[in-house]
């Protein structure tokens, strides 16, 4: 079983000084990967990661994940090549199809069908020079996870599907997560890949049961006990969450865990506990 790696997805825009301080803080808190998503109302991934590379030493830098639908493949290939030259071996590359129709509308881009977006992602991956570059492809449906198993060194499990208009569904239960993991393992065959999960929320509390009861909107069909098992929601003391992560690594192979920026400080207590 692989060692844990921990990433944080930095989603809040900031001034130059604030961004540098934020990235340094994440490094000091023990995060192994500094990530930036690719959404219109969030920081632009590449300049943000280039600045992070200048003012940190240890973490890898990862767009998590690039919305391939925003870019012609050849132009994105140029951006990735430049970032790779300037960041060096600290760069990881996360790539996805894009899922939010509203963002395509705002960008003045057509909204392709799910199949067309995956086709575009396949063309994009074929255009990129990924030799020796860690590549993360995330998803939940059969075709995306098959593509990830075939082309990526890191398979990201979103833990939620999306409607055709881009709205996300509720969080999947542990049984469904296990089924998706087994699907990828079968698709991998003899290949090996690191398994990543994007955690939607981390809550530190001594009263785990009460918080899980309040978390019902995340997955109304799941009981509080079932909510407490899923990999995308971490609730409890640092010790309890560390135990949950260890079980997910043992049972599902989820050794690379990414949290969202609002959970950065809370999850740092779990990193410290595990170290």
237-242 average pLDDT score: 98
Phi-psi region of 11 (alpha: psi -120 to 50; beta: other; left: phi over 0): alpha
Residue 257 has pLDDT above 90, yes or no: yes
Q: What is the pLDDT of residue 163?
A: 58
Task: Give me Rg for the CA atoms of the chain.
Answer: 18
Percent of the chain with pLDDT over 70: 97
116-141: average pLDDT: 96
Average pLDDT of the residues in 127-146: 96
Terminal Cα-to-Cα distance of the chain (whole angstroms)? 16
Q: Give the pLDDT of residue 98.
A: 93
The answer to whether 91 and 60 are in contact (CB under 8 A) is yes
Would you list the DSSP string of 195-227? EEEEESEEEE-S-HHHHHHHTGGG-TTS-HHHH
Q: Is the pLDDT assigned to residue 100 strictly greater than 80?
A: yes
* Mean pLDDT, residues 37-60 taken together: 97
Confidence class for position 34, pLDDT limits 50, 70, 90: very high
Q: By C-alpha distance, which of 251, 249, 242 is closest to 179? A: 251
Residue 169: the pLDDT is: 73
For residue 168, pLDDT beyond 90 = no
The span from the CA of 44 to the CA of 42, in Å, is 7
Three-state SS at 72: coil
pLDDT at 162 over 70: no
- What's the confidence (pLDDT) of residue 207? 97
Q: Give me the residue label for tokens 């059969």.
A: 142
Q: For the segment 69-86, what is each residue's pLDDT rounded down to a tens digit?
A: 999 999 999 999 999 999
For the ranges 47-51, 120-124, 167-171, which has the lowest average pLDDT? 167-171
DSSP category for residue 158: -
Q: Is the pTM of this model over 0.75?
A: yes
**pLDDT value, residue 2:** 77
Two structure tokens written together for 3: 């060692």
Supply the DSSP symbol for 159.
S
Mean pLDDT of 47-55: 98
What is the pLDDT confidence band of residue 1, given thresholds at 50, 70 and 90?
low
What confidence tens digit (pLDDT) does each residue in 180-200 have? 999 999 999 999 999 999 999
Number of neighbouring beta carbons within 10 Å of residue 218: 17
Q: What is the dihedral of CA 119, 125, 127, 133, to 10 degrees?
A: 180
Q: Find where tokens 């030799």 sit.
A: 131
Task: Give the helix ranges, DSSP H, for the chain.
Answer: 16-28, 45-55, 73-87, 101-106, 114-127, 142-151, 174-188, 208-214, 224-227, 238-252, 264-274
DSSP string, 84-129: HHHHGGGB-EEEE----HHHHHHTT-----HHHHHHHHHHHHHHS-
> What is 5-198+241-262's CATH number, 3.20.20.30, 3.40.50.300, 3.40.47.10, 3.30.930.10?
3.20.20.30
pLDDT higher than 70, residue 164: no
Per-residue pLDDT for 166 more than 60?
no
Pick from 135, 231, 153, 252: nearest CA to 194: 153
């Amino acid at each position: 079983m692989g060692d844990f790696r921990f990433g944080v997805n930095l989603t809040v825009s900031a001034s130059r000084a604030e961004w540098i301080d934020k990235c340094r803080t994440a490094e000091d808190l023990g995060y192994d990967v500094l990530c930036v998503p690719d959404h219109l109302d969030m920081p632009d991934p590449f300049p943000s990661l280039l600045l992070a590379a200048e003012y940190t030493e240890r973490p890898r830098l990862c767009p998590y994940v690039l919305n391939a639908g925003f870019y012609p493949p050849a132009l994105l290939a140029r951006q990735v090549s430049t970032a790779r030259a300037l960041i060096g071996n600290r760069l990881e590359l996360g790539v996805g199809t894009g899922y939010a129709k509203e963002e395509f509308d705002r960008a003045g881009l057509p909204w392709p069908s799910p199949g067309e977006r995956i086709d575009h992602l396949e063309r994009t991956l074929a255009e990129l020079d990924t030799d020796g570059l860690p590549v993360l492809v995330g998803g939940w449906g059969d075709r995306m996870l098959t593509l990830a198993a075939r082309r990526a060194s890191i398979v990201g499990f979103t833990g939620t599907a999306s409607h055709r208009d881009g709205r996300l569904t509720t969080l999947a239960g542990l049984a469904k997560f296990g089924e998706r993991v087994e699907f990828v393992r079968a698709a991998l065959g003899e290949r090996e890949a690191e398994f990543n999960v994007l955690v939607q929320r981390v809550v530190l509390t001594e009263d785990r049961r009460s918080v899980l009861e309040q978390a019902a909107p995340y997955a109304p069909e799941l009981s509080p006990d079932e909510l407490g098992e899923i990999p995308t929601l971490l609730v409890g003391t640092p010790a309890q969450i560390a135990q949950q992560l260890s079980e997910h690594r043992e049972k599902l192979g989820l050794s690379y865990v990414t949290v969202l920026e609002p959970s950065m400080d809370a999850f740092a207590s779990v990193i410290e506990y595990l170290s």
